[in-house]
Structure 1
């Protein structure tokens, strides 16, 4: 975490109060380098100092996060499954991804959309990304908001509580959880790479069997 981002987060929240929490959590969904793991623990520290109230601080964080999910959700709706399927058929050959794969992925998300949104809202590294497939799969807006709000409330409350308990050591939360986001992203990248490799191997075997 760069020092200037940390200082900007602190200054914004100190000068704008609850509105600053909401604004920062909104931006955190758009620009991942701004971490909730710093914003909400600092809010908890501020609560421990008697300068804020716990529930309004959590509410501000939840509202900001849910509002910040809308741009990615609507970006996914704009892309849409048909357009994504068409792009996969045109340009996905080098990754061995086809329109049928997009259909399968969309079918899986449709079966688990509520649980997927709720659980991913609790996972660093993918919290902000889950809104995109929700939009692509055309998940109904009301369930999307409800599941996003439920998962976000647990996450934001947890971070705020940690900051409240740690007091002036609130920045330890980012030190503990920050690397977890990187591991999650690396793990997803490795899993995707293995999936692509297995598909290429499978297609190669099919071609050899045909000959």
Structure 2
């Protein structure tokens, strides 16, 4: 499994990484930790370079977050609320969750966009209230890019370090990759099935 995904990443090249990172931030099928970590292994193998990988992966991540920012910025509270009310089960959230995230954004300031890049669960979610608050586009993109660059650099370095132990760790990597995808799918299915509006 690890070798198969690594081959896909190497064949797709930098643009494949950018696409995967974009999709991961819109609807996460494979965590960025796996994508950039395997990219780091590709760097250690010599099939990719550190700086282009960091730049293109961070750009993909930033654009993925920008999608959610634009949803909040363009739709606004009044047009977004009916969508959340109607599709809340499939989004596994309700309007109260959006309001809570918006209050969190307003109370912690715009730097929270940078800080949340290091949170596995909130890094994409914070983009929506940033858009709803009509944060300046340039500032949002700069904070998101900077935070994502720091995070991705760490993931690439971790992948490079892990490559030294790839033969011994490949079984565990397979378990980690398959497990993370299964856990994400099961968690989503469970939330959809058990979801009930608070009202």
SS in 1 for 2:111: helix
> Match for residue 25 of structure 1?
21
Distance in 2 separating the partners of 1:59 and 1:13? 16
Q: Does 1:58 align with 2:59?
A: no
Change (3 A) 1:172 1:114: farther
Change (3 A) 1:108 1:127: closer
Q: CA deviation at 1:83?
A: 4.0
Q: CA deviation at 1:77?
A: 1.7
SS in 1 for 2:120: coil
Q: Does 1:42 align with 2:43?
A: no
Q: Which runs of 5+ in 2 are unaligned?
A: 86-94, 192-197
SS in 2 for 1:114: coil
> Match for residue 118 of structure 2?
122
> Match for residue 207 of structure 1?
none
SS in 2 for 1:139: coil
SS in 1 for 2:46: coil
> Match for residue 166 of structure 1?
162
Q: Report if the CA contact (8 A) 2:101-2:126 is conserved.
A: no
Distance in 2 separating the partners of 1:49 and 1:122? 27
Q: CA deviation at 1:42?
A: 0.7
Tell me the TM-score normalised to structure 2 length. 0.71
* 1:141 counterpart (137, 141, 162): 137
Distance in 2 separating the partners of 1:126 and 1:105? 9
Q: Which runs of 5+ in 1 are unaligned?
A: 90-96, 190-195, 201-211
> Match for residue 151 of structure 1?
147
Change (3 A) 1:173 1:133: farther
Higher Cα radius of gyration: 1
CA RMSD in angstroms, aligned pairs only = 3.7
Q: CA deviation at 1:25?
A: 0.6
> Match for residue 112 of structure 1?
108
Tell me the TM-score normalised to structure 1 length. 0.67
Q: Report if the CA contact (8 A) 1:9-1:24 is conserved.
A: no
Q: How many pairs align?
A: 177
Distance in 2 separating the partners of 1:173 and 1:156? 21
SS in 1 for 2:118: coil
